[in-house]
Amino acid sequence: MKSPYLFEIDIESPAKRVVQVKLQKKVEPGIHSFSMPVWTPGSYLVRDFPKHVFNLTTELDGKKIQVRKEKKHTWLVETEETGLLTLKYSVYAHDLSVRTSYLAHDFALLNLTSILMFHNNNLEDQVRIKLLTPNQWKVSTGMNQEGVELVAPDMEEAFDSPILAGELIQAKFEVEGKPHNISIAGGRGNFSLEKIVDGLRSIVIENQGLYGSLPYERYEFLIVLSEKSGGGLEHRNSNVSMYPRLKFLPEKDSYRFFSLEAHEHFHTWLVKRIKPQAFMPYNYLEETYTRLLWVMEGVTSYYDNLIPVRANVTPVSFYLKTITEEINQYEQIPGKKLCSLEEASFNAWIGLYKPDENTPNIYMSYYLKGGIVTLLLDMYLRRLGSSMDQVMKYLWENYGKRKRGIKEDEMQNIILQATGIDVAEFFERNIRGTDDLPYELLNYVGLTLEEKKEKEKIPRLGVRAEGNKVISVLFDSPAHEAGLAPGDVIIALNGIGLENNKILDTLKRFRIGEEIEITILREGILHRVRATLEEPLAKLEVKPVTDPTEEQKNAWYSWIKQPWKEEKPSK
């Protein structure tokens, strides 16, 4: 029997941080399961949303009936006649993040994967939501409004339509005649609304130009200002981003905001419409695995830096600084020798999303490496007369528009089909393998990767530390050889206490090649170990070549759409 999901979501007393939910559905006699997702697409971690559910009761046509829990995410109810089944439950919501739900006195962010339940694994029925909020609050969401109800054609779309409600600061613009609404919650920041509107419009136009057209009728930028945390989560016609409220000034600090928004808007195509077959559909009740997250997130990370430069929103100098930082970060992580992009993607659930003291030794982020490898892949294709832009257009026309999923091993062949270029060896080395990355490809657009000359080199021990506490011991480093362990507290080097109580501040007082005695406190007992300090890993820098050829200048322009040596954005 087809019947809509009728929800009433009550957040009229938001300061209590509890969402009151009523779900009504017409059912036939039988056993009914009601389940809540354990994760939210785009964020690959089992968050066990049902753990925040309490006070669950059930009625059939107004008469109380029994309910029992079957699994951590599923409740069972038995009915003997056809009727209107009502579930009432409460959800505690106080997690300020883009992938969960949060209630406060001035605004609410509801990610509906952590609020709604679905019946008998049925994701197809229409979802109608009556949202009760404090009187003066505004409501923004990608869902359509019909009278007092928010309506999604099915549960998947409801799950994909977060709601931002509260005392919102709002603005709008149009591209292709389609409304793009901006809603900002979380108090005042030091942003200029006009600059946000201009920047976002330019980014949307740039993404539209790449793919050919906008795939939605309306788009919502749902922005939550925070004290210091950041992040974003993509949806089909909206995104939720979180950004520190004072990081819009000085102006160079605002560039990260535009990269973040370019990233989430790019996902409107890649991952929300061009997606792995493994995500069609998502399994909301357990992990959904794919080896293609490096495409979904790595390619997006590449474009999130590039699109704002092409759109004149951020300067070339910021782009070069960012890829320099990313390459340095990548080169310092021992896990680069062990974990390929495909493995990193598959293991996201226990790797990227569950980092621990040993993660840097055996894991590599598919965002970080994926972004750098996509840059190099783009150079590889451009050198042979094609580009990643062409690959993205092909994916949109042949996969996204046709609702065809990408098979696990298909990407290499897709590039061949899109560009006529065989990338088998590139994939073997850089995507399935862990070879040193072919940075020399940057030369095609007139860039080189050089070792940065440093006035002072700090000897390397090979630990990540917070103050005097060892957080990680990097494999094959002096600290690893010496037998230091995460959790060790370093008391003294050569019998002398630490400067500012910080390990890294004190190392600069020693020589490269010097053997030192390290006094540590481990599990309440003092120990002494010896380590030989080594040369630090080279600091690298991406720079334009001094004397570019005409070919390099042309390749540069057709890639980044800015004249050679352009330093400042034009707006």
Q: Which residues bind Zn ion (CB under 5 A)?
A: 297, 300
Whether omega for the bond prior to residue 250 falls within 30 degrees of 0, making it cis, is yes
Instruction: Give min distance, CB of 188 to Zn ion, in A.
Output: 27
Identity of the residue numbered 105? H
Q: How many CB atoms lie within 10 A of CB 396?
A: 20
Instruction: Give whichever of 290 and 300 is closer to Zn ion, judged by the CB atom.
Output: 300
Instruction: Give min distance, CB of 233 to Zn ion, in A.
Output: 8
Instruction: Give whichever of 73 and 291 is closer to Zn ion, judged by the CB atom.
Output: 291
> Distance between CA 422 and CA 409 in Å, rounded?
15
> Which of 341, 498, 354, 299 has the alpha carbon at shortest distance from 428?
341
Instruction: Give min distance, CB of 120 to Zn ion, in A.
Output: 32
The two three-digit tokens of residue 397, written as one number:
């026309």
On the CB side of 82, CA atoms within 13 Å amount to 4
Instruction: Give min distance, CB of 40 to Zn ion, in A.
Output: 13
Instruction: Give whichever of 240 and 503 is closer to Zn ion, judged by the CB atom.
Output: 240
Instruction: Give min distance, CB of 44 to Zn ion, in A.
Output: 11
52 within 8 A of 110, measured Cβ to Cβ: no
Q: DSSP alpha helices (H): ranges in 364-458? A: 368-383, 388-395, 411-419, 424-430
Q: Interhelix angle for 368-383 vs 316-331, to 10°? A: 120
Instruction: Give whichever of 93 and 271 is closer to Zn ion, judged by the CB atom.
Output: 271
Instruction: Give whichever of 300 and 387 is closer to Zn ion, judged by the CB atom.
Output: 300
514 within 8 A of 520, measured Cβ to Cβ: no
Instruction: Give min distance, CB of 93 to Zn ion, in A.
Output: 24
Of how many residues is the chain composed?
571
Instruction: Give min distance, CB of 522 to Zn ion, in A.
Output: 39
> Distance between CA 427 and CA 341 in Å, rounded?
10
Identity of the residue numbered 424? A
Instruction: Give whichever of 300 and 312 is closer to Zn ion, judged by the CB atom.
Output: 300
With 0-12 CB in 10 A as exposed, 13-18 as middle and 19+ as buried, what is 454?
exposed
The two three-digit tokens of residue 423, written as one number:
């990338």
Whether omega for the bond prior to residue 281 falls within 30 degrees of 0, making it cis, is yes
Instruction: Give whichever of 35 and 300 is closer to Zn ion, judged by the CB atom.
Output: 300
Question: CA-based angle 159:160:162, to the nearest 5?
Answer: 85
Instruction: Give whichever of 157 and 297 is closer to Zn ion, judged by the CB atom.
Output: 297
Instruction: Give min distance, CB of 156 to Zn ion, in A.
Output: 19
> Distance between CA 506 and CA 233 in Å, rounded?
40
Distance of CA 375 to the CA centre of its chain: 18
Instruction: Give whichever of 230 and 536 is closer to Zn ion, judged by the CB atom.
Output: 230
* Cβ neighbours for 366, distance < 8 A, ≥ 6 positions apart: 293, 294, 297, 298, 341, 344, 345, 348, 352
Instruction: Give min distance, CB of 489 to Zn ion, in A.
Output: 37
Instruction: Give min distance, CB of 41 to Zn ion, in A.
Output: 11
Instruction: Give whichever of 98 and 155 is closer to Zn ion, judged by the CB atom.
Output: 98
